Structure 1
Amino acid sequence: MPNAAKLFAALGLAALGWIISDMIKPLVPFSVDFGYFNYVNACIGVLMGWLFLGPRAGEGVTSAINNGVTSAVAMVIVGVLVQGTNEMVRLSFARRYDSPIEAIAAIFEKSIDYGLILWDLQLILTLLGGAIAVALVVEMAGRRWR
């Protein structure tokens, strides 16, 4: 059922996903065509906000902060897996893999490689601070518009 908390969570995490995507681009050490990178990560933010953060609004400030951090971590994990899968598909069309099992294993290898790029203090602090701010706004929206 749509409500204000889900809407605020979806929009807030989408904006956070977009900002974090822009912060990741200079950290990538090699030349990459990012394509729809920002849009994909913003859509992941919408899904995490609507399905995970929004329904948990109204449980208190401490719970909101915990849910915000958890949703940010989930957003990063899903984003890294999606980007790893995208890279695996790209390499599959270039016939880099001999078997489907090798291609599936490559998803996790690529995801780990992408996850290591995210170990930047400014990126982590922005992600956590933004997630907490979004969660507090969602908590206020959940209390205001029940």
Structure 2
Amino acid sequence: MPTFSKLTAALILAAAAWWMSAVILAGPDLPVVARRFAEVNAVLGLVLGWVLIGPSAGQGPVAALSAGLSGGAALLVGSCALWAFLGMLRRSLRMQYAGPVEGLVDVARIATEMGLFYLVPGALLGALGGGLVAGISAELLAERRSE
């Protein structure tokens, strides 16, 4: 069921994903050239905020903080995994792999390389801090609605 708490959590985590993307793109070149990097990550943040953080609204501040940290961590890991998979697909369409297993193994290699770019303090702060703000905001809006 759509609620204002879910919408708020989704929008805040999308903004955090946009910030995280801007910090990552400001650094050195990524191993995978990513078109629409910030936009795709913002959509991922929107979905994760709605699905992971929003439903915990109204269950108390501890649940809100836990859901916020989980949402921020899922944003970091999910974005890295998504872009690694898309990089593998791009290479597989260029017929650079001998077989499907080689492509799947390369996803892990690409994700490991890209993971180093996600460990920039600004990106970590953006994702995890944004998740915390999203969780707390959703909780405050749920409490305000119940009054």
TM-score by length of 2: 0.91
Q: Deviations over 1:67-111 (max 9, x none)?
A: 101111011111111100110011112221100111111112111
Q: 1:56 to 1:129 in 2, by over 3 A?
A: same
Please state if 1:99 is matched with 2:82. no
Q: 1:117 to 1:40 in 2, by over 3 A?
A: same
Report deviation, 1:32.
6.4
1:20 match = 20
2:81 match = 81
Please state if 1:117 is matched with 2:103. no
CA distance in 2 between partners of 1:5 and 1:67 (Å) = 13
CA distance in 2 between partners of 1:84 and 1:30 (Å) = 11
Q: Which runs of 5+ in 1 are unaligned?
A: none
SS at match of 1:145: helix
Q: Which runs of 5+ in 2 are unaligned?
A: none
CA distance in 1 between partners of 2:33 and 2:118 (Å) = 18
* Structure 1 residue runs of 4 or more that deviate by more than 4 Å after TM superposition: 30-33
CA distance in 1 between partners of 2:19 and 2:6 (Å) = 20
Q: Give the 5 Å matches for 1:18-97.
A: 18-29=18-29, 33-97=33-97
Aligned length: 146
Report deviation, 1:129.
2.0
TM-score by length of 1: 0.91
Report deviation, 1:145.
2.7
CA distance in 1 between partners of 2:141 and 2:123 (Å) = 27
- 2:77 maps to a residue whose letter is I
Report deviation, 1:60.
1.5
Q: Deviations over 1:96-138 (max 9, x none)?
A: 1100111111112111111111122232223222221121111
Q: Deviations over 1:34-66 (max 9, x none)?
A: 321111101110110111100011111222112
Report deviation, 1:14.
0.8
SS at match of 2:98: coil
